[in-house]
């Protein structure tokens, strides 16, 4: 009975801690660019090889390629690596490259070098690159004209990997709006907050590193057996004493129209991978979940002298309102459906978390996989 009488007090404490973490996370994400600019001290601009793995046709692929070819940077080559000889993305890349002068090569081949298909696609291009500084960039990522210049400033002597936070833009339909709520409202601020706290976390949309450090850390095979190649790379470089940081400048990922199943599969997969690769962070995720916090608020409502339903409702309202305030402060954009998408995200996160706790099966590129209990 004594334990039950303490339950509202414990739940109220959970609620208070979660709210404080939410505000601290968003605050850290807001100050991250100014903190990073103070530390980004590199002045030279050595040549860079940009590697773009391609597979399926992506929304705004033409604009993404053009944003690569129009970088304001002294010397950079572009290697487009296609897993299939007849990928329609090859023609899109050729058309975009033809409009600009520059060093561009398109590599094709479907040899499965490693179990991880993305890394199998990357490996020949990394080996063929003329320069030791490698930028891996997803084919649906839009770069600002000064993106390379911004990234290279961060690759100082103690840094092994430079990433950039992806911002979801141009969603079409509610499922894409939901994807934006996951990326801009959950994944990006949490990643930036962890980076501000000094954690070595990667985000694989854009990754800049020195190929010589990759060789010291174990070579391309370091990423090959991991579902999270960005995590494997950041941890491998960390073992060499090299940090992972995020540049001040953000990158853009055009959403377009997305089926709900694709959104669910991706974020469920990420949840399972976090459970395996970062179990402590996974266990702490309920503390930064609006739905879990609303439940704690409902149970602890008596400690605040409020009805349970009002406490839960105010918590969820405050959670998604902070989304909109954060988006506006960052200039990331939002729509009138963003609050509803935020509520749907919060409703889905506990389901995804519990499923990840009990089941390692995921869907990746349309195929079922079981994530191994230990990812090397």
Over residues 102-142, the pLDDT tens digits come to 789 998 876 666 666 778 788 889 999 999 999 999 999 99
Burial class (CB within 10 angstroms; exposed 0-12, middle 13-18, buried 19+) of 25: buried
Are 352 and 361 in contact by the 8 Å Cβ rule? The answer is: no
Tokens representing 89 are 């993305």
* CA separation for the pair 244, 234 (Å, rounded): 6
Q: Is the dihedral of CA 206, 211, 216, 222 positive or negative?
A: positive
78 versus 101: the higher-pLDDT residue is 78
Instruction: Say whether pLDDT at 344 is over 90.
Output: yes
Are 64 and 95 in contact by the 8 Å Cβ rule? The answer is: no
Query: What is the model's pLDDT at position 57?
Result: 81
CATH superfamily of 39-167+200-244: Spore Coat Polysaccharide Biosynthesis Protein SpsA; Chain A (3.90.550.10)
* CA separation for the pair 12, 303 (Å, rounded): 7
* R_g of the chain, CA atoms, integer Å: 21
- List every span in the chain annotated with CATH 3.90.550.10: 39-167+200-244
Average pLDDT over residues 228-241: 91
Query: What is the model's pLDDT at position 69?
Result: 93
Average pLDDT over residues 72-88: 88
* CA separation for the pair 244, 246 (Å, rounded): 7
Query: What is the model's pLDDT at position 362?
Result: 84
Average pLDDT over residues 57-68: 91
Query: What is the model's pLDDT at position 360?
Result: 86
Average pLDDT over residues 80-94: 85
Model pTM greater than 0.85?
Answer: yes
Query: What is the model's pLDDT at position 113?
Result: 65
Instruction: Say whether pLDDT at 46 is over 80.
Output: yes
Query: What is the model's pLDDT at position 226?
Result: 61
């Amino acid at each position: 009975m004594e334990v039950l009488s303490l339950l509202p007090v414990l739940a109220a404490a959970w609620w208070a801690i979660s709210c404080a973490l939410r505000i601290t996370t968003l605050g850290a994400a807001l100050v991250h660019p100014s903190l990073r600019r103070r530390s980004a001290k590199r002045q030279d601009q050595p040549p860079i090889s940009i590697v773009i793995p391609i597979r399926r046709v992506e929304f705004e692929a033409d604009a993404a390629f053009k944003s690569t070819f129009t970088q304001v940077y002294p010397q950079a080559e572009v290697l487009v690596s296609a897993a299939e000889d007849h990928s329609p993305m090859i023609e899109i890349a050729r058309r975009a490259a033809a409009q600009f002068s520059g060093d561009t090569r398109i590599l094709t081949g479907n040899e499965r070098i490693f179990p991880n298909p993305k890394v199998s696609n990357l490996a020949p291009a990394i080996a063929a690159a003329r320069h030791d500084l490698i930028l891996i960039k997803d084919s649906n990522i839009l770069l600002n004209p000064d993106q390379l210049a911004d990234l290279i400033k961060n690759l100082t002597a103690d840094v092994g990997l430079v990433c950039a936070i992806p911002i979801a833009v141009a969603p079409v339909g509610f499922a894409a709006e939901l994807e934006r709520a996951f990326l801009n409202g959950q994944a990006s601020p949490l990643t930036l907050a962890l980076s501000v706290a000094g954690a070595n976390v990667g985000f694989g949309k854009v990754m800049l590193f020195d190929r010589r450090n990759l060789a010291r850390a174990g070579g391309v095979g370091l990423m090959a057996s991991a579902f999270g190649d960005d995590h494997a790379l950041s941890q491998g470089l960390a073992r060499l004493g090299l940090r992972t940081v995020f540049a001040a400048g953000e990158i853009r990922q055009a959403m377009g129209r997305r089926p709900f199943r694709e959104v669910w599969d991706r974020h469920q997969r990420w949840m399972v991978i976090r459970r395996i690769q970062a179990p402590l962070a996974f266990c702490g995720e309920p503390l930064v979940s609006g739905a879990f916090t609303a439940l704690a608020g409902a149970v602890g409502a008596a400690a605040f002298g409020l009805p349970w339903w009002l406490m839960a409702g105010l918590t969820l309202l405050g959670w998604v309102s902070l989304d909109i305030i954060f988006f506006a402060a960052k200039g990331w954009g939002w729509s009138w459906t963003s609050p509803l998408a935020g509520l749907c995200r919060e409703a889905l996160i506990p389901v995804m978390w519990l499923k990840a706790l009990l089941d390692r099966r995921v869907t990746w590129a349309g195929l079922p996989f079981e994530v191994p209990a230990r990812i090397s």
